[in-house]
Amino acid sequence: MSDDIQELAGVGVLVLDPAGPVIATEQDALDLIGAAFLGAQVVAVPASRLDARFFTLGNRFAGEVMQKFVNYRLRLAIIGDISAHLAESSALRALVHESNKGGHIWFLPDLDALDERLRSAA
C-alpha cells in the first residue's frame, strides 16, 4: 500500500501507508499538507508514523504539527492505538479528549471510526 487519496463519507482523505517514513519534523508535516492539496480535506496518519516526540507534549512538536493543519484548513486524523502514550501522560489524555470534541484534529482507532466521524460531521 502507498499513500493515496480515498473517499470516506464523501470526503477526500489522504490515507498514509503505515509502512511509510516517520513524520519527525515540521517540514514532514508541510509535505503532507502539500500532498493533501491534490484532492484531500483530511489527512489520516497512522500513529505508528509519528515520531515518539509527537506524544511528549513538553517539546511542542505535536502542537506545531497540529497548528499547521489548522492554519491550512485541513483536518488531521491520527489513526491507531495510542493507549501506551495516554497511560503515560495526563496532558496528552486531555489534549486527545479536547481535540476529539472539535472539528479539526481527531485521534481515532481506525479508518471505520474516521468514516463514522466524517458522516456525523456532514
Which residues touch 106 (CB under 8 Å, ≥6 apart)? 75, 76, 77, 78, 99, 100, 114, 117
CATH topology of domain 4-121: Transcription Regulator spoIIAA (3.30.750)
Strand ranges inside 16-71, DSSP E: 42-46
Strand partners, 6: 13
pTM summary value: 0.94
pLDDT digits (tens, 9 = 90+) for 73-96: 999 999 999 999 999 999 999 999
* pLDDT digits (tens), the chain, 122 positions: 688 999 999 999 999 999 999 999 999 999 999 999 989 999 999 999 999 999 998 899 999 999 999 999 999 999 999 999 999 999 999 999 999 999 999 999 999 999 999 999 86
Cβ count near 10 (within 10 Å): 8
